[in-house]
Structure 1
Amino acid sequence: MSLPSKAFQRWLHGIAPNTSTADVCRFSGVKRTTLAQQLVRGKVAESSLVSISRAFDMNPFDALAQFEAYAALRGTPVPPTDAELVSQVSTTDLLRAVVERSDPGEGVPPLVLAETPHGSSVRNWVDAIDDGELRHRVSGSTGIAPQNFSAHLTANRLPPELALATSRAAGVGPAGGLVASGLVTEAEAGWPPGARRDALDRMTDGELALLAGERLQALGKALRRHEHELDHSNRIWENLG
């Protein structure tokens, strides 16, 4: 989707009226050439706005909401569902939670969840909110081909506009996909502190074990696919001599 450069420049002037573009880039870590190219093209990447917002102590979630394309972020935040929260717990942490419940042990420090996003956060988030027809609805509303949508999930990435469209099609709050894709943090999106751990603790032992099993199965398939692709590449190189 990206942000219109004129609207971005108005926003930037509002938060840093006396700061040069060079200083903005230096403070935020955004390459000066990158921002210049985006401004010339008339489309500024959301990631640039997020980096600049953080550099000037502004919540990037609130900054995005100032743009018309992200009007859905305005107003009272919609809390994430438990399924969304648990989807942002890594598979490793999920397995640790299973072990923690099975054998608490004395003197063992409590599980501290890794930060979002994790290696399969995008796919897990979509799976958590999918009623079986979500991918078809997203394809119909955005025009993206189902195979291209699946490719995004496999690569664990989701463009912001597609994340919003997916949230809208699933009837959940607009923040989940932005957190899952790593554009904003859970705190920036307004998720309560410890919300993921609380949702994990609310799961029954059976629910936790079943989810861990599903995650392991998905991980196994991904590893096998990677091994197959690596083996195929090696054979090609061997044939080339």
Structure 2
Amino acid sequence: MSVPAKAFTQWLHSVAPGTSTAAVSRLSGIKRSTLAQQLVRGKVAVVTVVSISRAFDIDAVAALSGFDKYYDLASGLLPPTEAELVSQISDVDLLREIVARNAIVDPPEPAGKHILTPMPHKTSVRSWIDAIDVPGLRHTISRDLQMAPQNLSAQLSANRLAPEVAVQVARIAGVGLTGGLVVTGVLTPKEGGWPEDARGKALRALGDTDLVTLAAARLDALGKALRRTDQDNEQTNALWENLG
């Protein structure tokens, strides 16, 4: 989630020599107090590095590659797989595509032509993990990063993944190392090397059967999540009622 403050300071001096902290904060849109707190704690957030890179027109992937945790990020920059691209098409967009393909007369929108929901969507992270899943992936992540399985599950349920975890997942799965940073919103698709309209092309390439099957699986997962939420709410309400 962070890079060492000492390494960050050295990097900042190299890319913006003589620029004050106040000026860096103003140009990057980061609160001065936020940057100061990160420096004091000795850990600077990855999103801070990315924001400053954008402000000074520096390649964000190259910038992150200068830090030990992300040393191979630039060299591991690969185009996303078809499965990764499809995973980043939202549930709503899948349903809109089904409607467009099956409209008998005057479809609301031509099939494959509507503007897709921006990334990341509501289940981007879990969908990406499912798309790149290799045997034992979750176990390997837990072992390599010393992360309890329930903590990984909690991050996926919250649609987030710490940057270093996202990159390590990509390393294990053998896909482009920027993919996890793209699906979590740390990098834009363009910054992460995802071709323009790649998701749209992947959607149009899906056969009708695959499209409907994928949409059904997504809706089933959504239904399960909503049922869990309803159960949690019922338990909470029952607890309050018992407490009087």
Q: Same fold (TM over 0.5)?
A: yes
The Cα shift of 1:104 comes to: 7.2
Distance change (3 Å), C-alpha of 1:40 and 1:97: same
TM-score (normalised: structure 1): 0.93
The Cα shift of 1:107 comes to: 7.1
1:217 to 206, 217, 220: 220
1:90 corresponds to 2:90: yes
Distance change (3 Å), C-alpha of 1:102 and 1:158: same
RMSD after superposition: 1.7
Per-residue CA distance 1:79-132 (angstroms, 9 max, x = gap): 111110111111111111111222275474421101100111000000111134
The question of whether the paired residues in 1 share the 8 Å contact of 2:137 and 2:172 is answered with yes
Could you tell me which residue of structure 2 aligns to residue 207 of structure 1?
210
Q: In the TM superposition, what are the counterparts of 1:52-71 in structure 2 within 5 Å? A: 52-71=52-71
Distance change (3 Å), C-alpha of 1:221 and 1:107: closer
Q: In the TM superposition, what are the counterparts of 1:26-105 in structure 2 within 5 Å? A: 26-75=26-75, 77-103=77-103, 105=105
Could you tell me which residue of structure 2 aligns to residue 25 of structure 1?
25
Could you tell me which residue of structure 2 aligns to residue 191 of structure 1?
194
The number of equivalent residue pairs is: 241
Q: In the TM superposition, what are the counterparts of 1:124-143 in structure 2 within 5 Å? A: 124-143=127-146
1:169 corresponds to 2:168: no
Distance change (3 Å), C-alpha of 1:107 and 1:100: closer
Gap regions ≥5 residues in structure 2 = none
User: Which one-letter code corresponds to 1:67 in the other structure?
Assistant: F
Could you tell me which residue of structure 1 aligns to residue 151 of structure 2?
148
1:178 corresponds to 2:181: yes
Could you tell me which residue of structure 1 aligns to residue 230 of structure 2?
227
User: Which one-letter code corresponds to 2:197 in the other structure?
Assistant: G
Distance in 2, Cα, partners of 1:107 & 1:126: 33
Per-residue CA distance 1:49-98 (angstroms, 9 max, x = gap): 11222222223223212222112212362111111011111111111111
Percent sequence identity is 54
User: Which one-letter code corresponds to 1:115 in the other structure?
Assistant: P
Gap regions ≥5 residues in structure 1 = none
